[in-house]
Amino acid sequence: MTLALKTTDLAKTFDMGKRLFGPPRAQVHAVHPVSLQVRQTETLGIVGESGCGKSTLARMLVGLTPPTSGTIEIEGRALDRADPAAFGRLIQYVFQDPVSSLNPRKTIRQIMEAPLRLLHGLTGQALDDRVMELFDAVNLRPEFLTRYPHEFSGGQAQRIGIARALAASPRILILDEPVSALDVSVQAQVLNLLADLKQRLDLTYLFISHDLAVVEAVSDRIAVLYFGSVVETGPAEKVFAAPRHPYTKLLADSAPVVARALGGAQSGELPDPLNPPAGCAFAGRCPRATDLCRRIVPDLRAIEGDQFAACHHPRDP
């Protein structure tokens, strides 16, 4: 099977306290070198808590943030320049806040037409037909086209956001917390729509979320991010059911599940990004940590089958 997306050692370092000239005062490694491979028509779920670098990673994948180092390949073609327009035809982005991602001073038609005109050069009847086709695909009524974004609920606005992303006819969609701002009853509607679209259009998804249960429900494979690094990847059914990295285990235990005792009460917090620890970033919170962990950063390695973990002392399943 061909790869839809491949990153090699993709990393991003932000300069803090910039000066007019000269080096910055400090640097934060938002994303440590990440190598990911996503197969075609696969859904890769990316989970992690706030500050783990998942949004920075996503923005690099669509060219909105230039990476500090590393490469991105989409369907075998390298995209070496951070140019959103070049990325746009291949890979699109669905934003977390559906209302904020729509310009409040434009009608939905104007918003929908922009990518069609600029990326595919559509005009006239072809343009109108394509807009109707997209609107139909996300189950929206055509009369919405003349309205402004503030007239829509979160769920409707997110459908518009999805339709706009699809307008570019991309091969891959990056879904950055696409349902986090929505109520649960609406959340399921949008998730099901996404599943349906993927089936019909042979899309590949990168689904980013902090909600483990949602990620597990929609993904084929899952990558767990902690402090800018991938700490575990594997098939969706195994990552949370049989976690190998202690952090994945902590995440799984922390998710509220009916009729399960409250867990993970004393588990500490994230290290200071301005002053990162020397070895494994999770060592300070880890019950299995040894001296080795505090000195040397563990590499991501195969533990069993296609389950990988970056841990010196992986758990037994």
205-264: contacts with other proteins (CB under 8 A): 210, 212-214, 216-220, 236-237, 240-241, 250-264
- Map the footprint of other proteins across residues 16-45, applying CB under 8 A: 18, 20
**Residues 6+ positions from 195 with CB-CB distance below 8 Å:** 218
Q: Work out which of 28, 137, 188, 297 binds other proteins, going by CB under 8 A.
A: 188
Q: Does 67 bind other proteins (CB under 8 A)?
A: no
- Are the CB atoms for 167 and 109 separated by under 8 Å? no
Integer Cα distance of 69 and 80 in angstroms: 10
Q: Contacts with other proteins: how many residues (CB under 8 A)?
A: 78
CA-nearest of 246, 243, 276 to 264 is 246
Query: Residue 113 Cβ, how far from other proteins at the closest point, in Å?
Result: 9
Integer Cα distance of 107 and 47 in angstroms: 34
Handedness of CA 145, 150, 156, 159 (dihedral sign): positive
Q: Work out which of 1, 2, 22, 50 binds other proteins, going by CB under 8 A.
A: 50
Which of residues 21 and 125 has its CB atom nearest to other proteins in the complex? Answer: 21
For 80, phi then psi, to 5°, come to -100, 0
Which of residues 77 and 105 has its CB atom nearest to other proteins in the complex? Answer: 105
Q: Work out which of 73, 97, 128, 304 binds other proteins, going by CB under 8 A.
A: 97
The β-bridge relationship of strands 204-209 and 43-47 is parallel
- Map the footprint of other proteins across residues 68-87, applying CB under 8 A: 84-85, 87
- Map the footprint of other proteins across residues 271-290, applying CB under 8 A: none
Which of residues 264 and 299 has its CB atom nearest to other proteins in the complex? Answer: 264
Cβ burial of 57 (10 Å; 0-12, 13-18, 19+) is buried
Query: Residue 227 Cβ, how far from other proteins at the closest point, in Å?
Result: 12
- Map the footprint of other proteins across residues 161-180, applying CB under 8 A: 161, 164-165, 167-168
Q: Work out which of 69, 123, 146, 153 binds other proteins, going by CB under 8 A.
A: 153
Integer Cα distance of 149 and 156 in angstroms: 9
